[in-house]
Structure 1
Amino acid sequence: MRSYALLLAEDEESFRELLKRRLSRKGYLVTAVASGTEALDALAEEEFDAAIFDMKMPGLDGIATLKRAREIQPGLPVLILTGHGSIETAVEAIRAGAYDYLTKPCNLAELEVILERALERRALEVENRGLREALRRLGDGLEIVGRSEPLRRLLELTERVAQGAMPVLIEGESGTGKELIARAVHQWSPRAAGPFIPVNAGALPAQLLESELFGHARGAFTGAVAAKPGLVELAGGGTLFLDEIGEMPLEVQAKLLRFLETHEVRRVGETRIRRVDVRIVAATNRRLADEVRAGRFREDLYYRLNVVALHVPPLRERREDIPLLVEHFLARLGSAKEMTPEALEALMRQEFRGNVRELYNLVQRGVILSPDRFIAPEDLGLTVPPARQGAPTRRGAGPSAEASPGDGGDAGEEFASLEQVERAHIARALERTGWNRAQAAQLLGVSVRTLYRKIEGYGLRPGQ
């Protein structure tokens, strides 16, 4: 599991240390500072996944720090904490770009849930950028890459399904691009001018998910400082995409079923009934029929959602699309590099349990780690297929080009140089990412903590 880097700015020492200990035990890599100025200094030195700022701090207050922080790291999700809660302050924080707002003393469990939700949304945005690059442009911003028969059949069925109004269930493994198919259902439908709102149905506990979906009245629960419409209402006239529907709590499943039957919602803490016109598209990487048998998913909801099912094929079932995807990824990354035949052959032999997402990550890794314009198997972290051992691994390489491990020397020499190769690859990844440790760790396929240990162990320093 990835360790997220978190920046905490809080001038009250005891509360700062309490939060740091609590969040560190949860696996976060917490950098704790006492002022907005120190927070900005930290942001200039390192990229963070999220931040928590106290509203009242010496010098720069939370809002001013937030505005400056988003100039340094534009995508940074920020939570604002304050002991002076008011609707006006909350509105000011949200308008300034805060992800959410909590009053002190805050419920630490609730803070953790909101923080996880912020990180999930950011991860989803990053993931979607990668997944969208898995598709060739096919009108209205959708991109589909591939000419395989399984993909063609899926798109033909998707286009037909899009014209109706019934719920749609999208099935497929993680990384296959289920949200992209959901967006295609929306954009190819008569609802294309309406909103498309995605939500992870298994990311929140039941009470918070119910509030997120159906909204709540002011004072409905602790922290509900204002009335809030739910995502079902906000998606009115468009499409609500419920990802990971198989992980939705059973009590929320019952409320979703009732909405599908009546198209009526009632906000938490209200008696007023609101009628909403929205299409539900759900996705899962689980077999819902098995979940029904295990008692984890309602059978009546399953049949209500499974009016039409779209199955997104895994990449291993459409391997003929891999060369086209690789070419597309290289172009989208703005790279003039190219795969050697051996690298492409190694890719074609992979199982790709992570599907298109895994392929994109491998191509990105190869672009960064390749020392020249030819991406070899070792740049991808893959081995040369047995049938190709002894062949040059860099197409077009002349006598002075880098030799592959199999081109000379014995096994002892190869293993003796393993640490030097690893050190060079780590140094290259850090250099290419401007010593952004989080990005470098992702490219190398290791955790941030592992990368820190490697940096310390090899004595790596910027500018070496």
Structure 2
Amino acid sequence: MKHSQKVLILDDENTLRTIIAQRLKRKGYDVLEAGTASEGMAFLKDTLVDAVLLDIKLPDGDGLTLLPKIKQIQTDLQVIMLTGNGTIESAIEAMKLGAYDYLTKPCNLSKLDITLQKALENRKLLMENTGLRQVVNRQTPELTIIAESEAMTSLLEITHKVAQTDTSVLIQGESGVGKDLIAQAIHFWSSRVNRPYIPVNAGAIPEALIESELFGHEKGAFTGAGTQKIGLVEMADNGTLFLDEIGEMPLSIQVKLLRFLESGEFRRVGDTRLRRVDVRIVTATNRDLWQEIIQGRFREDLFYRLNGLTLLVPPLRERRRDIIPLVNHFLKTQRKDLLHERYILLPETQEQLLNYDFPGNIRELFHLIERGQILSSDGTITPSDIWPEKLTQVLKAPPAFDSKEEFFRIFQKCSYPSLEDVEKAFILSTLKKAKGHKTQTANLLGISVRNLYRKLQAYNMNE
């Protein structure tokens, strides 16, 4: 998605304009030429440019009068004034109006090259600062990945290799396994490490706002758009854009994301002009995207664009050697507002953790350890600190019946159970029979995993 910088030469002297244009083209610039103010303004209304070489005397206008109009149309472009009758007064006036620099004609082409290069570097710095101000709350913590198990060490080897390329990567895995850490690793191990890393949860942004969030908008583009906004795609220029929960992205935005991936071009909401950026896209999902494609909720062509290479992050139950190292890491980086400076796990506590399947993966593990820290009386975390309600929940939960018929036969003996009571009890029973495995539970119930999670959330049974 690399792109050349675009320069508009707005000067009525054909010979000089042609000489400058030829030189800039040899330098790799994309050059536009205009001989009048009206022609130049027409270019700027339809095309985004990085810099303008502006003659101070034009057949149909004055460069000093034109300068603020140009800056109003495209606020971040750089303007270098050109004149054959340079005076200190006009130079000062041009700088006050927003010009980057001021050169007299006939131009020294070497000096022009240097001035233009510095102007474009200044533009880049201004845009980066604007993006940084808007993205300050999106900064990621220091990268730490615990990998003692063979499954994780193998994954990190592949991750390190793919990070050296610009291939788009799709990261798959259950909720809570650490897909975001793999995305960070791809960025930090790549040549883009010193450029922006912009993470965004595609499922957490309302559909009405996601286009503006990704691609930005112009002032007045819609109700409430009181100022111009740089989108996440622009903030990530020359860096990495991580789209988490890509399976949650609405179809209407999938089309626009696909168009951007194919060309590297996009439009801000409310703007007709195309912009170009150089961005590496990394995505993640806990959904089966093939099923989403079959159900018509995800575009197949977008899937192939995103899936340059797939990385599968294993669940915690398949990397048990990482459990205790993860706990130790968590204890070292714990909150400082707890009762004890140091916490340790009893051997029987470790054994129970190693034998548990962690349907919530690392997120659930850290939640349990934090609960153990809070409930520990002397800094020693016991099984009862981690599982304070486990026995009570087991006693209250209905037994795991051998069949649906047996379950409903026994449940009918209850006095006027509600439909909600029956469904909730049956889900709990099936979860117990499946030993907490959500996919297996959904299969036994004859529903999708997504539907199961919705019911667990509705009945406050996520724990």
Q: What TM-score range do you get, normalising by the shorter chain? A: 0.5 to 0.7
In 2, distance between residues paired with 1:322 and 1:285?
21
Matches within 5 A, 1:212-223: 212-223=213-224
Distance in 2 between the 1:384 and 1:231 partners? Answer: 44
What's the counterpart of residue 353 of structure 2?
A: 347
- 2:305 corresponds to 1:299: no
**In 2, Cα distance between the equivalents of 1:209 and 1:251?**
10
Structure 1: runs of 5+ lacking an equivalent: 1-98, 101-120, 130-140, 386-446, 451-464
- Deviation for aligned residue 1:209: 0.1
Task: Write the mapping of 1:204-283 to structure 2, written as runs, cut at 5 A.
Answer: 204-283=205-284
What is residue 148 of structure 1 aligned with on the other side? 149
**Partners of 1:215 and 1:228 within 8 A in 2:** yes
Do the aligned partners of 1:377 and 1:383 also contact (CA within 8 Å) in 2?
no
Distance 1:156 1:255 in 2: 33
DSSP 3-state at the match of 1:144: coil
Task: Give how far 1:371 is off.
Answer: 0.6
2: CA distance, partners of 1:175 / 1:330: 18
Q: Is the contact made by 1:167 and 1:307 (CA closer than 8 Å) also made in structure 2?
A: yes
1:220/1:246 CA distance change after superposition, 3 Å: same
CA distance in 1, matches of 2:147, 2:160: 17
Asked if the contact 1:182/1:241 (under 8 Å) is kept, the reply is: yes
Deviations 1:391-411, CA, capped at 9 Å, x for gaps: xxxxxxxxxxxxxxxxxxxxx
For the pair 1:372 / 2:378, whether they are aligned, the reply is: yes
What is the CA-CA distance between 1:349 and the residue it aligns to?
1.7
Question: Are the equivalent residues in 2 in contact too, given 1:377–1:384 (CA < 8 A)?
Answer: no
Task: Select the structure of larger CA radius of gyration.
Answer: 2
Distance 1:341 1:150 in 2: 25
Q: Distance in 1 between matches of 2:274 and 2:390?
A: 63
Identity of aligned residues (%): 57
Mapped contact 2:145–2:181 kept (Cα < 8 A)? no
Cα distance in 2 for partners of 1:171, 1:327 equals: 26
CA offsets, 1:174-210, max 9 Å, x none?
Answer: 1111111101000100111100011111222333100
Report the Cα offset of residue 343 of structure 1.
0.8
CA distance in 2 between counterparts of 1:211 and 1:187 reads 27
**Structure-2 separation of matches of 1:265 and 1:158:** 29
TM-score by length of 1: 0.52
How far has the Cα of 1:365 moved from its partner?
Answer: 1.3
Q: Is the 8 A contact 1:174 1:285 kept in 2?
A: yes
- Aligned-pair distance for 1:342? 1.2
| 1:332 corresponds to | 333
Q: What SS class does the counterpart of residue 170 from structure 1 fall into?
A: strand
CA distance in 2, matches of 1:318, 1:257: 35
Deviation at 1:373, TM superposition (A): 2.8
CA distances 1:352-375 after superposition (whole Å, capped 9, x unpaired): 111111111111111121111321
Given residue 269 of structure 1, which amino acid in structure 2 is its aligned partner? G
- What SS is found at the alignment partner of 2:175? coil
For residues 207-264 of structure 1, give each alpha carbon's deviation from its aligned partner in whole angstroms, at most 9, with x where no partner exists: 3100100111111100001111111011101001101000000010000000000000
Aligned equivalents of 1:219, 1:252: Cα separation in 2: 21
2:201 is aligned to 200
| 1:86-125 alignment runs, 5 A limit | none
- Whether the aligned pair in 1 keeps the contact of 2:170 and 2:284 (CA below 8 Å) is yes
Aligned residue pairs total 256
Aligned to 2:290: 289
Aligned to 1:143, what secondary structure does the other structure show? coil
d(CA) in 1 for partners of 2:171, 2:165: 15
Are residues 226 and 373 of structure 1, via their aligned partners in 2, closer, same or farther at CA, if it must alter by over 3 Å?
Answer: closer
Quote the Cα distance in structure 1 between the aligned partners of 2:362 and 2:261.
32
Q: Which residue of 1 aligns with 2:84?
A: none
Distance of 2:209 and 2:379 partners within structure 1: 50
Structure 2 counterpart of 1:352, which letter? F
**In 2, Cα distance between the equivalents of 1:227 and 1:145?**
41
Provide Cα deviations, 1:128-160, integer angstroms capped at 9, x if missing partner.
87xxxxxxxxxxx32122310000011000000
1:213 counterpart SS class: helix
Tell me, in whole angstroms, the C-alpha distance in 2 between the residues paired with 1:340 and 1:383.
Answer: 19
Q: Distance in 1 between matches of 2:146 and 2:245?
A: 24
Q: Distance in 2 between matches of 1:264 and 1:212?
A: 16
* Change over 3 Å in CA distance of 1:329–1:294 after alignment to 2: same
1:373-423 deviations in Å (ceiling 9; x for gaps): 3211110026899xxxxxxxxxxxxxxxxxxxxxxxxxxxxxxxxxxxxxx
Whether the 8 Å contact between 1:236 and 1:276 is mirrored in structure 2 is: yes
Rounded Cα–Cα distance in structure 2 between residues aligned with 1:160 and 1:383: 45
Which secondary structure state, in structure 1, belongs to the residue aligned with residue 204 of structure 2? coil
Q: CA deviation at 1:170?
A: 0.5
Is the partner of 2:329 in helix, strand or coil?
helix
CA distance in 1 between partners of 2:182 and 2:145 (Å): 10
Q: If the length of structure 2 is used for normalisation, what is the TM-score?
A: 0.52
**Which residue of structure 2 lines up, in the alignment, with residue 57 of structure 1?**
none
- Contact kept, 8 Å, 1:342 with 1:384, in 2: the verdict is no
User: Does residue 183 of the first structure (1) align with residue 184 of the second (2)?
Assistant: yes
* C-alpha separation in 1, matches of 2:191 and 2:277: 16
Map of 2:366 onto structure 1: 360
Instruction: Tell me if the contact between 1:195 and 1:236 (Cα under 8 Å) persists in the aligned partners.
Output: yes
Paired residues for 1:160-175 under 5 Å: 160-175=161-176
Q: SS at 2:296's partner residue?
A: coil
State whether residues 147 and 321 of structure 1, in contact with CA within 8 Å, keep that contact through their aligned partners in structure 2: yes
Superimposed CA distance per residue, residues 301-355 of structure 1 (whole angstroms, 9 cap, x where no aligned partner): 0011111011111100001111211222222227422111111111112111111
Name the amino acid aligned to 1:258: R
Q: Distance in 2 between matches of 1:343 and 1:170?
A: 32
Q: Supply the distance in 1 between the matched residues of 2:389 and 2:252 (Cα, whole angstroms).
A: 48
Pick closer, same or farther for the CA change 1:382–1:347 going to 2, 3 Å. farther
SS at match of 2:273: coil
